[in-house]
Chains A and B, each alone.
Chain A
């Protein structure tokens, strides 16, 4: 009996020890949420899979969801991709936490990133995210029609007389990138759009920018009128025009269209920074950052996040992100892109624009604040021939008043 008891106790002890060891060695899991549901999702997954395979202490569980912001706000996630323009909103809402200590733990410094990216994630003198990339408005051109990339508005105007019937220098969309078109011209004219935490549109300088856009369409006729959704790109992709269709030689558009354009034009596709249409160079774009949920307080999880960031922000691993066509903000990768321009034409070109790319102003709920501008006012600008300042200003005042109402909520 004693012998049986001894065996039983030993077996129990052994089981407890094994279980304890298993618990002690259970990897720390981080739930990483992002909205990369397009072609770029596979490239981020490659980084995550690489990290999971490289060690056994931590596991990153990556979830790619379409409405990932709603999921983030209603669920339990540790790490989240937030667009640069929304970072101030999430910071004000207290949904994300400062990550200065994680920079340190990951062996990273704000100076390791392009200054535009570093400034974007710095709120109230603290780092609130790791800047991943900027995807600015960029220029594609059809080398068969335009051997050299236009650099100025004069170059574009000159194209107007050279391209023949039904071929226009560029396209101004009816909708889609509406806000980007207004904002990139504002950036090129150095127009300030904020006033005490709210967007401010009712200034003569911004009105002038919008009237210039109207003039490009109806006076200079650099673009066909009546282009619909994503018209800047669809007309660029039009086959050889005849009497029934128009084509454009240049597209100022989003980098996400690159793959489709490359498939169509192959070596005849040119990529270049935006031409200077205003007073100086400038572009407008979106950006991705990686932020940490305010709910994460467990030191083990924070350590795991730091390790993941340390792994991601290396030239070798972050190049996967450049492979997707994105332009990373991590300086060693930017240097690598400069040395390998032929392999990464789009990412390299976009990295050249970082210096002058503007992200949406850092105000609360910026997307809601600019909704009226992007829909009603843009539609007025691109459809009303001979638009005047007197017609435009009341609308800009209304947009400003709506923005103020949202900012003051």
Chain B
């Protein structure tokens, strides 16, 4: 039966409406808005072309400093977080894969539960555990005689501890999501492959290298890409746990954009920063994609 084009369009219409309202329109508004000098609360709203971009990228203004400070901090977080977030989740998934039901379901639920908690609650927990000399971790370390009460570790007020705290909170919070993706990918592997390789005398490391990794490689690259984007968008943890400190050393690019727009009311500059951030993330992901494609081709040739 041939479906008339307008009927097909009706099926497509809900997506089109949502796409236009929640993606295209905000994006176009952002691009257009970034070419004005609009500041909330003032009557200033003149077209300035690419001046905001020039100010952010090339001038000696505070917007330039704030953008590159945020970008630098974000890159630090991407650098320290992506590998642990992927590897720890993969290890957990591999461990779960070897656990028998019903414990497998129990642990899978337990690990995933933290992902359902809001970032506000996660931050409150980590502030309680890490803030100041009376915090749970400092008091415990002090009771164990590892540190003295008068010289507590500034988990949130000194570097590199502040980054470690944000990293710990992020891992605890998001570990369940990536782990579930890996668990599902592992479930798809044909068990006969394990049995056959065992008969041939393959050890677990060899099974991992020649059966598991090639089977879950697509999920692995997806998780890597997804985690990279998520790390680029670091916001809630640094806003709520360290408030961008100590100094401004954990103030991520998203946080700098938030402050430019919501605290300093500089909407147009904030929009330009957001567009630039989008480009940076896109470039980063493209580079990662190209790199992984080459790697995939290489692995497929080896197979």
Contact = CB atoms under 8 A, between A and B. Distances in A.
The answer to whether A and B belong to the same complex is yes
Interface of A: 67, 69-70, 73-74, 89-90, 93-95, 166, 174-175, 224-229, 231, 234-235, 238, 241-246, 365, 367-368, 371, 375-376, 379-380, 383, 402, 405-406
Nearest to B241: A229
B246 interface: yes
Interface string B140-165: 10110000111111111110000000
A365 B263 CA distance: 10
A67 to B, nearest CB: 7
A90 B61 CA distance: 24
13 contacts: A174-B246, A226-B154, A228-B155, A228-B156, A231-B133, A234-B132, A242-B149, A243-B148, A244-B139, A246-B150, A367-B263, A380-B247, A402-B62
B191 to A, nearest CB: 51
B139 A368 contact: no
A67 B127 CA distance: 23
Contacts of B248: 375-376
B135 interface: yes
Given A227-B133, A244-B142, A406-B62, A383 B150 contact: no
Contacts of B130: 228
Contacts of A228: 130-132, 135, 154-157
A246 B149 contact: yes
A376 B66 CA distance: 13
Contacts of B61: 405
Given A234-B131, A245-B134, 6 more contacts: A67-B262, A174-B246, A226-B151, A231-B132, A234-B132, A242-B149
Given A226-B152, A226-B154, A228-B157, A365 B134 contact: no
A380 B247 CA distance: 8
Given A175-B157, A231-B132, A235-B132, A245 B243 contact: no
A235 B134 contact: yes
Interface string B205-248: 00000000000000000000000000000000000000111111
B171 to A, nearest CB: 21
A236 to B, nearest CB: 10
Interface of B: 40-43, 61-62, 127, 130-135, 139-140, 142-143, 148-158, 243-248, 259, 262-265
B41 A175 contact: no
A226 B132 contact: yes
Contacts of B246: 174-175, 379, 383
Given A89-B41, A245-B139, A235 B264 contact: no
A238 B134 contact: yes
Contacts of B243: 175, 229
A111 to B, nearest CB: 31
Nearest to A247: B134
B154 A174 contact: yes
A375 B245 contact: yes
Contact of A166 (B150, B153, B259, B263): B150
Contacts of A174: 132, 154, 156-157, 245-246
A242 B139 CA distance: 10
Contacts of A235: 132-134
